[in-house]
Each structure stands twice: as C-alpha cells, then as structure tokens.
C-alpha cells in the first residue's frame, strides 16, 4: 500500500529558518496574530487529516471509476462527502480567506504548505475546495458588497462551492472568441446562454449550492477579449433572506472520462438562459477571472510538489526494502541474500534528483507565497510594487516549471520500482496519471512560457528579470565563498546575457520568442532553484544536526548534477527559431 508522512520538519525549516516567517509576521500588524507555534499546529492538524482521512480515498476513488454521472447529477466517490464535511467543519476551506467573511486569514506562505499535503494524498479531493477558494478571491476582489455578503460566508463554511467557467468547445486559450451570451433583464440580472467545457467541480453532491463564475458577452460587446464580462450564476437561485430558491437553468450535460484525477468531476455545463448577475464592470470580466486564475496557477505548481513528495517517499521506502545484487564496493548486508538497491549509484541518482526537486520547489512555493503576502498586507508602497512585479514574473514559473520538473521527478521515482512501478497496487502509475493534467490545465505550460517571455520579459525589456537577479546577487553577497556562491553568480551572468539576447532577437524576428519560450522558462526556473538552494544552504550550514548538514550535500549535488541543464537550454535559445519555422505546414501532415 502507498505511504505518506507529511514532511513537517522540512516545512518548519523552510518556513522559519529559511524565510524567517515569525519575524515577517510579527513585523506586520495584519499578521501579528500568528506565531510559529500556531502555524506548526495548523500544519500538524492538516498532516493528520491528509494521512488519516483522504489518503486511502485516493486509490479507492480511482479504482471505482471516480465521479459518476446520471441524468445531470454527479455522485462523488464513496467517502468524499464525509471527508469534505470534516474538511469544512475544520475550517480548512477558509484557511487563507478574509476573517470578515468567516475565513481564518492565514498568510499564503503558510497555506501553500497545507495545500501541499492535500495534493500529496488526494488531488481529486483537493480540486473541490480549490475552485471554491479561487472563486471567493474573485468575488472578494471584484463583486459588490451585497454579492460578497451573499456568497462568501457560505463558501467558507463549505455549504456552497464555486467554479470558474471559461473554456468552450471552440475556445480554449483564445477566450476572445467565446460564444456564451448574456442578455440583460429589466431587474438588472442577465440570461446566460452557452456551453462551457472542462469545468472542474461543475456538478457534485458535496454542497447544497454551486456558484458558477462565468465569462460571457453582452449584446454589442467589443470584439475579442475586450468584450468579456464576468457573471455569478448559481445552481439554485438565492432568495433575499439567503435561503435557496428555485433551480436555475444550468446543469451538467456530461462528465469527461479522463486519464487521471478521476474522483474530480470535470463537467460539460449547459447554460440555457440561466439567471446570472454581473460581477464588476461590463467588459472587464477577464481581469476579474484572472484574479482567480493566477491563484489556481500557483496551486498547480503546489500540485506538482505534492505529487513529487508522495512519489519520493514511496520510492525511497521501496528502494530501502528491495534487495537486488551487491554493492560495487563489496557486500553491505552479508546476512541477507542481496543488498538494498540503495547501494547502487543509479538508484541514488534518481532519488537525489527527486529530493532536490522537492526541497527547491517547496522553498520556491513559500517564497512566492511570501511575495503574495507582501502585496496583500504590506503598507510599504515600494515593497508592494516589487512584490507585485516578482509575482507577475514568477507565476508562470510556479505553474509550469514546478509541474514540468515534478512530472520528471515522479517518472524517476517510478523507475526506482522497476516493473512494480508499472503495477497499480504500488500507487506510482496513478500518481503519474493524476499529475499529468497539472501541465495542461489553467493554461498549458507552453502558454505559461510564452507569457513569461512575452509579457513578463520582452514587454518590459527584461526589467522584471533584472530586478529579480539583483535580489539574488544581493543575497549571494552575504554568503561565504563556496562553489554554490560562485554558481549563483555565474548563473545570474548567463541569464542576464540570455535575457538581453531574447529581447533583441524579438525585435527583428516575430517567431523567435514563441520558439524558445519553454527553454527560457526552464532557464529562469533553474535560476530560481539555485537561488532557493543558496537560501537553504545559508540557513542550514550553521546547524550541526545531520538533517541540516545533509542539505548542504544536496545543494552541492544540485549544482553539480542538475544545474548543468542550463547550458543546454541556453544553446537551444541561441540557436533561434529558424530551424523550427523553416519547414512548410504541410510537412507535418505529409505521409512519411
């Protein structure tokens, strides 16, 4: 059976030793109510819930076929409803939500760690509250006071849930061509008509009401994305006293049959003149929805961390128990018929790759979470500006790089099992199937890379990257001389040159940025991870316990064995776009 034990000690180290969370919280009057003891207690409780309540449901939901659809209704897998009730009653839905609406007001740098544990143990389950939290953020940011009062408290008690409805059969990344219409009524409401696909948690039996956030176009709206508005469309209309009224004209037409996350209902939603209520201003809906989407994109990165951590723990345990062959240096366990496969260099290589990814990814998620907390809570205008720029730059890294490296890590963890990794009972094949979607939804990783290189780099002539590297170099100046410090400085120099090259080439070759975007994203990802290892190294080197000293070795391993990938990525960027764009379009469909 698969195992999972929350990495609480590493979480505490990252939070408190690397990023000095307690100092950060106490320095901000809006966060001073939180201290290390409270934060650790929250993480310990989430560790118990994740392991004891939802871990076993992950496999049973997958094997039973997941969410089931019948005549417009969705039944979640056995055990999900009870688990969700426990989750809601524990206050977990509103862990990071504003206290004024019934949330607990916890900072993002803490909630990313709580989220990781749920992603590790049951990603299908996580998707139900995840969309609710995102919808709540969009409503809190854009909606009227009356709308906030109507919907937000119910979200955070878990009585109601939320969705986001963007994609249509013909319209994925290009939302400017959506066809869903919003016809105004005399009472200020709108009739919403259209079909949305790939709607996570669009229909289910966990809550008494589902609140859909829907992108649609009003009559005579401007063409393209400038003409998109955002609407609240409840499954059940809400009466003036807050009770539920009649069923709205919205329902699930079917659910998708997917590769993974089978316990999560992915729905085709039909809006047949459903009553909706505009959120914010007309034709400004996309900006409102992106409040939600940027939150979801960081969450996808955390999904990657969760999967990779789960994969590592199971692979390391298997490698410890599996006896095959003898160590190249001589017998290590003479009392046994063979040595553990941990004596073999290739197995260690794979496990070290996975662990290095996990520790750097976790630190990076907390770092981005801290930047988000600065934007939300700081009263220093310049600090807020810098943090906003940093979040803009790093959101595509958090979504795409963390999920790209996580899938590679889970594949390497699976390889440690040999043939057993391909067998369902060991849990690895489900882990890989469930994780694959993280590279696809909320904007594919290729789209994230294009966003990074275009809007976040070329558009500002590399200013966001330059300011980020200035922070990294400033930190490196506090480090004693070491191979790691030199690596940080060298990488910054290479990324500076690459960024200048990217900005210049984009001026003369319109195909250039799109063709090299993924490689550039990985370059900035590698820069970010070596920065995280520098911060980990500096926090760990002053402590003598093996737990901390081993982190120094892992940092050196990363520099020697993983970071060299940057050179190959750089060569591909310098090679440009010409060879990619040279062949005619019909080459790709011509018979061999």
564 burial via Cβ count (<10 Å: 0-12, 13-18, 19+): exposed
What's the rounded Cα separation, in Å, for the pair 518 and 452? Answer: 9
The first and second tokens of residue 466, run together, are 């330059």
Q: What is the largest CA-CA distance in the chain?
A: 85
The first and second tokens of residue 509, run together, are 């070759």
Active site residue 442: yes
Other beta carbons less than 10 A from residue 13's beta carbon: 22
Termini Cα distance of the chain = 46
The one catalytic residue among 442, 474, 538, 571: 442
Q: Which of 452, 369, 370, 367 is closest to 404 using CA atoms?
A: 452
89 burial via Cβ count (<10 Å: 0-12, 13-18, 19+): exposed
Tell me if 452 sits within 8 A of 393, measured CB to CB: yes
HSE-CB for 65 with a 13 A CA cutoff: 7
In terms of phi and psi (left: phi > 0; alpha: psi -120 to 50; beta: otherwise), the region of 283 is: left
In terms of phi and psi (left: phi > 0; alpha: psi -120 to 50; beta: otherwise), the region of 273 is: left
DSSP 420: G
The distance of Cα 557 from the centroid of its chain, to the nearest Å, equals: 26
Q: Which of 127, 250, 266 is closest to 195 using CA atoms?
A: 250
Tell me if 190 sits within 8 A of 218, measured CB to CB: yes
Tell me if 452 sits within 8 A of 528, measured CB to CB: no
Can you give the C-alpha Rg of the chain in angstroms?
A: 24
Q: Active-site residues: which are they?
A: 442
């Amino acid at each position: 059976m698969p195992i999972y034990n929350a990495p609480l000690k590493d979480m505490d180290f990252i939070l408190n030793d690397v990023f000095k969370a307690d100092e950060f919280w106490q320095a901000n009057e809006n966060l001073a109510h939180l201290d290390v003891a409270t934060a650790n207690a929250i993480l310990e409780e989430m560790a118990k819930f994740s392991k004891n309540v939802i871990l076993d449901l992950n496999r049973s939901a997958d094997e039973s076929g997941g969410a089931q659809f019948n005549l417009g209704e969705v039944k979640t897998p056995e055990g999900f409803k009870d688990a969700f009730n426990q989750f809601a009653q524990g206050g977990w839905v509103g862990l990071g939500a504003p206290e004024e609406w019934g949330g607990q007001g916890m900072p993002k740098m803490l909630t990313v760690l709580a989220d990781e544990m749920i992603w590790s143990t049951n990603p299908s389950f996580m998707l139900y509250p995840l969309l609710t939290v995102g919808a709540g953020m969009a409503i809190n940011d854009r909606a009227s006071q009356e709308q906030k009062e109507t919907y937000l408290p119910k979200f955070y008690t878990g009585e109601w849930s939320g969705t986001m409805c963007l994609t249509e059969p013909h319209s994925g990344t290009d939302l400017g061509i959506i066809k869903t219409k919003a016809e105004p009524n005399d009472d200020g409401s709108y009739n919403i008509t259209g079909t949305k696909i790939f709607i996570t948690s669009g229909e289910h039996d966990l809550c008494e009401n589902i609140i859909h956030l829907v992108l649609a176009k009003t009559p005579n709206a401007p063409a393209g994305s400038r003409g998109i508005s955002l609407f609240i469309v409840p499954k059940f209309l809400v009466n003036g006293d807050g009770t539920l009224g009649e069923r709205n004209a919205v329902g699930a037409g079917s659910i998708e049959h997917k590769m993974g996350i089978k316990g999560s209902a992915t729905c085709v939603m039909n809006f047949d003149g459903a009553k909706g209520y505009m959120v914010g201003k007309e034709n400004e809906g996309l900006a409102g929805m992106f409040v939600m989407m940027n939150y979801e994109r960081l969450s996808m990165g955390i999904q990657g961390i969760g999967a990779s951590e789960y994969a590592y723990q199971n692979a390391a345990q298997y490698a410890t128990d599996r006896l095959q062959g003898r160590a190249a240096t001589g017998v290590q366990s003479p009392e046994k018929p063979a040595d553990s496969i941990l004596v073999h260099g290739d197995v260690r290589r794979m496990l070290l790759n996975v662990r290095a990814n996990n520790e750097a990814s976790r630190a990076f998620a907390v770092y981005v979470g801290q930047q988000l907390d600065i934007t939300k809570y700081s009263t220093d205008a310049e600090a807020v500006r810098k943090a906003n720029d940093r979040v803009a730059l790093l959101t595509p890294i958090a979504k795409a790089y963390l999920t790209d490296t996580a899938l590679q890590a889970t594949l390497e963890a699976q390889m440690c099992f040999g043939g057993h990794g391909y067998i369902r009972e060991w849990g690895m094949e489900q882990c890989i199937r469930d994780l694959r979607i993280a590279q696809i939804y909320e904007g594919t990783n290729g789209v994230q890379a294009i966003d990074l290189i275009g809007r976040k780099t070329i558009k500002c002539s590399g200013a966001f990257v330059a300011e980020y590297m200035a922070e990294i170099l400033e930190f490196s100046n506090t480090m004693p001389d070491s191979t790691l410090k030199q690596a940080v400085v060298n990488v910054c120099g290479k990324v500076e040159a690459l960024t200048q090259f990217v900005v210049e080439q984009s001026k003369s070759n319109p195909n250039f940025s799109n063709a090299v975007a993924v490689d550039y994203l990985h370059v900035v990802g590698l820069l970010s991870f070596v920065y995280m290892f520098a911060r980990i190294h500096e926090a760990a080197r002053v402590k003598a316990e093996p737990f901390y000293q081993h982190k120094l070795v892992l940092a050196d391993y990363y520099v020697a064995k993983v970071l060299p990938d940057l050179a190959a990525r750089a060569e591909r960027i310098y090679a440009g776009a010409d060879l990619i764009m040279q062949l005619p379009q019909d080459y790709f469909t011509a018979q061999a």
